[in-house]
Structure formats: C-alpha cells, structure tokens
Structure 1
Amino acid sequence: MNYNFLTIEGNIGAGKTTLATLLSKYYNSRLVLEEFAENPFLPKFYKNPRQFAFPLELFFMAERYKQMKDLIQQKDLFQSLTISDYLFTKSLLFAKITLPEDEFRLYQRLFDIINQQLVQPDLLIYLHSPISRLQENIKKRNRYYEQNIEDQYLFSIQETYTHYIKQYNIKTLIIDASNADFLGNEKHFKAVVDALEKTYEKGQHYLTLP
C-alpha cells in the first residue's frame, strides 16, 4: 500500500460506506465514517430544502471538521493507513447546490478558514453510478427521509463532483460502479485492491470492474 490516507466518494447511494468498510477490514486500517444520521436537520431539509439548507450544511461541516481534526490528533502507531467514506470538500460541493448565492459566499468563507487546517487524502476513490442505479440503492436501504430524492438533485451532485475533480486535477481513481457488488462479488473487490497496489500520478484514472 502506497498511501496513508484514502477517501471514498460518490453520489448518494453509490456505496461509499460499504467499500470503505470492506477496505478497512482488508488492510486493518483506521476507518472514519460520516455520522450523517446525527444531523437533526436532514429530515427537515428533504421536506423543506430552502428553509433548512444552511443549518444542514453548517452542521455537516462542523461535524466533519471535528472528525478530521480528531484524526490528525490521534495518530495510531499500529494503523498507518486511514480510510474515510467522505471528502471534507464535500461540504462545499453540496452547499454550492443547496444554498442561494449570498449564503453560499458566507459558507465558503467559513469553509476556506477550516479547510486549511486539515490533511488532504493521498488518493480519492470516486464511485460513479448512473442515477437509476443510485435510486435503486436509495430505495433498497430504505431511509425514510431519502425516499423522495429527485433525479435532478442527484444529477446536480454528480455534475458538481465531476467538475471539481477535473477543475483541480485531483489524484482520483474513478470506478465505474454501474453494476458494482463489493459485498457479493469477490472479483469486484479484488479489482479495487489490485488497483490500489499501483502508484498514480496527479489526475484522473479509471477502473472498470470485471
């Protein structure tokens, strides 16, 4: 393993937590999972996005910052690799979609101050799935507040991630997760592990699962 800090990202329902958990077990690494269920504004946001977008995104950013700051301070001598199922910049990307311009400018000022203090991942693994597959996964995991997410919202998230990765030329392994089954198909998981044995230059690299 050539990396100390891996981050798994993707749209809602892409399988980030599943893959991060499997990889952490395989590599015996430290695992950092987003505590989205703790956000009291999430159900309210899906019912009334305009009213609750700002407190939702502010709460997420504060919680993610706390987790990442603790990560820096708690160095584990027995676990040199850390795997996270979210990118801190996710806060800014989602806020760009959900907030009106004036609120987003304020949010971005806060984000820029905080982001300077955090460690960035050595490699971003991005799971790309079509909207139809995302909706299938969302229905399957059956979180009540997610059941009415619109295709357009998922499409906006997809576009925002893609633009960010390309604009800043992030070192990214983009996995076509259209038919991914990391839990049930050993070949899919092994393909990811094999890919992580390689060293990548800055930019986008692509993996098609067998």
Structure 2
Amino acid sequence: MVTPAPDAYDLGTPVAGTGRGLYVAVSGNTSGGKSTLVEQLRRELVADGVPAIGVSERAFHHRFLPLMFSNSRDFAFPIQLSFMLERHMVLLRNLALGRTVVMERSHLDDFLFVREHAESGNIAADQVAAYRGLAHVLHARIPDPDVLVLMNPPAEVSLKRLAAAEEAGERPREFPDEAVKRGWVERWHAMYEDLHAHFRERRASDPQFAEVSLLHVDPEAPAGSAVPQVLAAIRAKQALRGR
C-alpha cells in the first residue's frame, strides 16, 4: 500500500528522531519543465515510501501577479516579498517535519527577480535594502539545497512552451502583451545563465556549498528523462544520512 503524500500546508507534528528533511530544488527560467520534473520526482519518492512534497510555483502564484508585469512600480515589491515569505514558511516547517521537499526554484533564486525589477526602476533602492535585510534573516534559518537541479532552456523554447500552456488554459495570461512577455523571458534566461554559473563557481570555492549535489539537466530532453539522474542524487543523500 502506498503511503499518501503529505500536504505542504499540513502543519503536522514533528516525530522524535526524524531529523531534517532533504531539500531538493529545480532552478531555471519559466516553462523550462521545472513543475513537471517536481511532480515526477514527488510521485517516485512517495511510491518509495518517502514522505515527500512537491511545491510548484503555482502554489505561490499571487492573485495580483499579472499586475507585477502591467503595474510593476506598485506591485513588484510586495509580490516579491510575498513569494519569499511563502517559500520560507513552506520550507521551514516541512523540513522540520522530516519531509523531503522538492521545490520549483529555491530561496537562492528569489533575489534574481528583485534585482531585475530594481534594474528596471520598478523597485526603489530603499525597498531593495529592506528586501535584502529580511532575506538575510530568513535565509540564515534555511539550509542550502541538498540537491540543486539546473535547467534553463533557450528563451525561444520557453516562449513556445509558455504560449502553448496559455492557449491550453494551463497557465494564466500574466503578461499584458507579447512584447512584454518576450522581454521578460529573454532577460530571465540571461539572468539564470549568470546565476547557474555563480552556483558552479561557489561550489568550487565554498566548502559548505560543495556539499550541494549540483546537477545540470537538458531542458530540451523528453519529459521524464532527468528523473533517474535526480533520483539517484536524492537517494545518495538519503544513504549518507542513513535514511
């Protein structure tokens, strides 16, 4: 009998001796296959009897999100704060309950979007400082991911997939027009190229971050093809922790 998957928002009760859960994050541009991979990994882990939750950013999608792209000056800052706080609460509680958390993007990705809004003039310097200060306090309470998956398709691939998902009703139309959408997706692709390069450099120079299993997967490969590679990394981490 397969144990039902826990609910990410079920507060639960910590079990003595369980220890901290594993933290698995999938990092990359929009429509890169992150949500699909998160759900595939969650299903495999639950089938193995692992108490695992999958957290796609659909869970964090703020009802005001379209305003972040059409009225960024008013809404970008509070929406980005909301994303950071929601991610922090979900991670902090579920890891404390000993659950394996498979999450679309990580807390290490969050500032990327604030920086983009700041460079575009949509978030003021004092707001950036406030965000950085709060992030510093919150991130000190969250571990680095145990497994960090990097997948950043070319911008044209993301745009094609995003258009198909919007047409099928799988995603809301968050952007006010196609030109704005293209601009954001192309900038995000470039930012993720830089962020993933930073992760690789940090892993080579930071002994603590060197403990992170950093995996690059082909975002243009068939859906599901990365699952065995990522599961192997997760199981290796479980074995090291005797779980």
More strand by percentage: 1
8 Å Cα contact 2:152/2:193 also seen in 1: no
Given candidates 89, 92, 106, the residue that maps to 1:87 is 106
8 Å Cα contact 2:147/2:233 also seen in 1: no
2:54 maps to which residue? 32
Given candidates 181, 185, 196, the residue that maps to 2:222 is 181
Could you list the per-position Cα deviations for residues 110-152 of structure 1 after superposition, in whole angstroms to 9, with x for gaps in the alignment?
1111100012211211112111110111112112224644323
Q: How does 1:52-67 map to 2 (within 5 A)?
A: 52-67=75-90
Identity %: 21
1:207 maps to which residue? none
8 Å Cα contact 1:7/1:87 also seen in 2: yes
Displacement of 1:191:
4.7
Displacement of 1:190:
4.3
Which protein shows a greater Rg? 2
Q: Which deviates more, 28-37 or 122-131? A: 28-37
Decide whether aligned partners of structure 1 residues 40 and 195 sit closer, same or farther in structure 2, where only a CA change above 3 A counts: closer
C-alpha distance in structure 1 between counterparts of 2:68 and 2:233, whole Å: 41
Which secondary structure does the structure 2 equivalent of 1:124 belong to? strand
8 Å Cα contact 1:20/1:31 also seen in 2: no
1:96 maps to which residue? 115
C-alpha distance in structure 1 between counterparts of 2:233 and 2:83, whole Å: 33
Displacement of 1:95:
0.8
Given candidates 169, 173, 183, the residue that maps to 1:144 is 173
RMSD: 2.3
Would you say 1:14 and 2:8 are equivalent positions?
Answer: no
Residues paired across the two proteins, number:
185
C-alpha distance in structure 2 between counterparts of 1:111 and 1:198, whole Å: 28
Decide whether aligned partners of structure 1 residues 114 and 176 sit closer, same or farther in structure 2, where only a CA change above 3 A counts: same
Could you list the per-position Cα deviations for residues 18-76 of structure 1 after superposition, in whole angstroms to 9, with x for gaps in the alignment?
01101111222412313133x13302112112221111101111111111111222224
1:208 maps to which residue? none
C-alpha distance in structure 2 between counterparts of 1:75 and 1:194, whole Å: 23
1:113 maps to which residue? 137
8 Å Cα contact 2:154/2:189 also seen in 1: no
Could you list the per-position Cα deviations for residues 61-100 of structure 1 after superposition, in whole angstroms to 9, with x for gaps in the alignment?
1111111111222224xxxx43222201222111111134
Displacement of 1:175:
1.7
8 Å Cα contact 2:27/2:34 also seen in 1: yes
C-alpha distance in structure 2 between counterparts of 1:135 and 1:115, whole Å: 31
Given candidates 191, 196, 202, the residue that maps to 1:165 is 196
Which structure 1 residue ranges, 5 or more long, are not aligned?
183-188, 200-210
Query: TM (normalized to structure 2)?
Result: 0.68
Which secondary structure does the structure 2 equivalent of 1:165 belong to? helix
